């Protein structure tokens, strides 16, 4: 591995980490940041992409890939990247990333065309005419909004657009992630200011999106490249610390791995046991910018992939606990309760022979692809274009996306981006309704968040909550495994104090919307009563004027769509009572 910090370039200390990984049969997951001046390794030409695609789908028809590449090459001809390479190398590299993961032909075609509408005269209408509606939807979904037109709102509205497009087809997000990954691989050619901006957005938004889709193989590299771009010194220190820890991994963790293999054999569980190095940004988040001397157990996790079914995983967990003492309360069952991104595994923490705490993950061979590739594993398993459409459209098991959709349309641009970052940054808890339905919520969510997760009407009418059968405060924090029953009443309604303990963006937006609506109703009632009294003094009945349509005509003449808008404007001081009375009393012409 190299580093962006010149003080560490060429240091041999990182070499043992690579050797250790090869000995353990583990793929190197740490990212290597690109230095300015490093050439883009992708060369123009569609044949390597076709070969990569056929490695997964041997009998696939590649005619559309050839056509899409020809269009992309022609439209981007003469456009260089910051590296000096032809621009077409970027969409080609994005398509190669997706092909290596096993994405379908439609996604690869859209990846080749994804920058044409944004950066060339090629229009979305031409994409639709040449390649069909499905490709056009994907290309449009990843096309950034015009910065000159949208100004400071461009980034927020672009992400809002991506969320909306992903609701119809999750491949929009997958393409966007691959696009950002390649941009991070070549980020060394950007200015320092732009590197920092791209890195921050990647860590705060794109990396969490990759996690929400379960694409950990992509998230790890994306995180590490963004980490290196944002803080080269911390990245270099973490890289060296991990390398030093892994240099003696066989001696330090060999006895623990040997015990685990023996215990699994005694329990007649066939499984593959390996050590997975943690990616650098994960280590940095746990240990900080100066990790010091790390223990090998801090630099990696033990992964046990069982040949059998779910039951075999639980037997394997018992074998682990018989071989090495478990830490009470540190077992997590993501098989019975999968994560929000479909991830399934058993996690435990045990004490190794030398007294070190060791993280152990147990999963079946069938769970492994989904644990690594998430939604991409489902797309790959679909096996053909028709089934793929079903695999990515409207998945009911990705509730986090539905929750984003419920509040995004009501949030202003600045608030939307801030709330999206907060929403994506949190972990999750899984609680139950009395009917046994699982509700995934961000860590730290309260009972009122649970109520609004069930639906806006439930949240608005909430008057209380039972947690595990006992009455609790609406501010009570929800824990995994709890059974939560929301009590409602027709006359219920949010109060201002709910905003003090509402944690999710969805909840806050819905409460604010209800309170604003109530304030508007109150203002309209106050304004109407004042107008009715004033008109009565002139012998005019407001109710009769409303019934005859006279009031609505006056409101429209003043630029208001509804009567209540006019009455509320009067109460708020935007429209004077005398002016309005004059409209009602002036002689008809």
Give the active site residues.
118-119
Q: Using alpha carbons, select from 201, 175, 207 the residue that is nearest to residue 31.
A: 207
DSSP assignment string, 225-274: HHHHHH-HHHHHHHHHHHHHHHHTHHHHHHHHHHHHHHHHHHTT--EEEE
Q: Terminus-to-terminus CA distance in the chain, angstroms?
A: 85
Rounded to whole angstroms, the Cα distance separating 56 from 550 reads 70
CA distances from 535 to 12, 182, 426 (A): 89, 69, 56
Q: Using alpha carbons, select from 212, 143, 230 the residue that is nearest to residue 420.
A: 212
Q: Answer whether 97's CB lies under 8 Å from 182's CB.
A: yes
CA distances from 325 to 263, 306, 318, 440, 582 (A): 13, 21, 11, 31, 85
DSSP annotation of 191 reads -
Q: Answer whether 404's CB lies under 8 Å from 423's CB.
A: yes
Rounded to whole angstroms, the Cα distance separating 452 from 463 reads 12
Rounded to whole angstroms, the Cα distance separating 526 from 572 reads 10
Rounded to whole angstroms, the Cα distance separating 168 from 379 reads 15
CA distances from 170 to 43, 98, 246, 467, 589 (A): 29, 13, 37, 34, 60
Long-range contacts at 11-16 (CB < 8 A, ≥ 24 apart): 11/240, 13/240, 13/243, 13/244, 14/239, 14/240, 14/243, 15/243, 16/243, 16/244, 16/246, 16/247
Cα atoms found within 13 Å of the Cα of residue 186, Cβ hemisphere only: 20
Rounded to whole angstroms, the Cα distance separating 545 from 558 reads 16
- 241-255 exposure pattern, b = at least 16 Cβ within 10 A, e = fewer: bbbbbbbebbebbee
Chain Cα centroid distance, residue 80: 31
Cα atoms found within 13 Å of the Cα of residue 224, Cβ hemisphere only: 24
Angle in degrees, 0-180, between the axes of helices 577-585 and 505-536, rounded to the nearest 10: 50
């Amino acid at each position: 591995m190299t580093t962006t910090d010149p003080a560490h370039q060429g240091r041999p200390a990182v070499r043992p980490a690579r050797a250790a990984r090869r000995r353990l049969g583990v793929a190197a997951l740490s990212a290597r940041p690109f230095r300015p001046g490093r050439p883009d390794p992708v060369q123009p030409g569609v044949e390597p992409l076709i070969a990569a695609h056929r490695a997964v789908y041997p009998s696939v028809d590649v005619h559309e890939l050839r056509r899409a590449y020809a269009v992309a090459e022609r439209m981007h001809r003469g456009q260089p990247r910051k590296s000096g390479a032809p621009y077409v190398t970027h969409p080609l590299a994005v398509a190669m990333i997706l092909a290596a993961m096993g994405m379908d032909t439609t996604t690869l075609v859209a990846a080749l065309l994804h920058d044409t509408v944004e950066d060339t005269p090629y229009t979305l209408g031409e994409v639709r005419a040449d390649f069909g509606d499905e490709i056009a939807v994907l290309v449009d979904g990843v096309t950034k909004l015009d910065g000159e037109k949208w100004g400071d709102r461009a980034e927020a509205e672009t992400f809002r657009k991506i969320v909306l497009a992903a609701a119809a087809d999750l491949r929009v997000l997958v393409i966007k992630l691959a696009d950002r990954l390649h941009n991070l691989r070549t980020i060394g050619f950007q200015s320092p200011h732009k590197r920092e901006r791209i890195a921050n957005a990647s860590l705060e938004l794109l990396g969490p999106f990759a996690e929400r889709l379960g694409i950990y193989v992509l998230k790890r590299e994306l995180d590490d490249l963004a980490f290196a771009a944002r803080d080269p010194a911390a990245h270099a220190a973490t890289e060296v610390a991990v390398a030093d820890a892994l240099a003696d991994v066989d001696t330090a963790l060999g006895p623990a791995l040997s015990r685990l293999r023996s215990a699994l054999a005694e329990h007649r569980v066939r499984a593959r046991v390996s050590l997975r190095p943690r990616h650098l940004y994960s280590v940095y988040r746990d240990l900080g910018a100066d990790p010091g001397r790390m223990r090998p157990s801090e630099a990696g996790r033990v992964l046990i992939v069982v040949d059998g079914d779910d039951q075999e995983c639980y037997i394997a967990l018992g074998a682990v606990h018989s071989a090495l003492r478990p830490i009470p309360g540190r077992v997590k069952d993501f098989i019975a309760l999968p994560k929000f991104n479909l991830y399934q595994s058993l996690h435990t923490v045990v004490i190794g022979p030398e007294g070190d705490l060791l993280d152990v993950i147990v999963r079946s061979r069938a769970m492994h692809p989904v644990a690594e590739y998430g939604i991409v594993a489902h797309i790959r398993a679909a096996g053909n274009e028709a089934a793929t459409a079903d695999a990515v459209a409207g998945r009911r098991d990705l509730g986090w996306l539905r929750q984003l959709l419920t509040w995004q349309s009501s949030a202003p641009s600045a608030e939307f981006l801030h709330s999206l970052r907060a929403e994506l940054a949190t972990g999750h808890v899984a609680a139950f309704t009395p009917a046994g339905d699982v509700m995934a919520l961000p860590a730290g969510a309260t009972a009122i968040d649970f109520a609004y997760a069930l639906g806006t009407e439930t949240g608005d009418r909430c008057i209380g909550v039972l947690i595990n059968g006992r009455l609790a405060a609406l501010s009570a924090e929800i824990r995994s495994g709890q059974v939560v029953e929301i009590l409602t009443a027709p006359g219920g309604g949010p109060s201002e104090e709910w905003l003090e303990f509402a944690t999710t963006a969805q909840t806050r937006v819905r409460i604010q919307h209800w309170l604003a609506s109530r304030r508007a109703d109150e203002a309209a009632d106050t304004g109407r009563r004042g107008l009715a009294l004033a008109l009565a003094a002139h012998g005019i009945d407001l109710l009769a004027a409303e019934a005859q349509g006279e009031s609505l005509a006056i409101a429209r003449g003043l630029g208001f769509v509804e009567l209540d808008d006019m009455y509320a404007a009067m109460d708020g001081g935007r429209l004077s009572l005398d002016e309005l009375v004059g409209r009602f009393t002036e002689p008809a012409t």
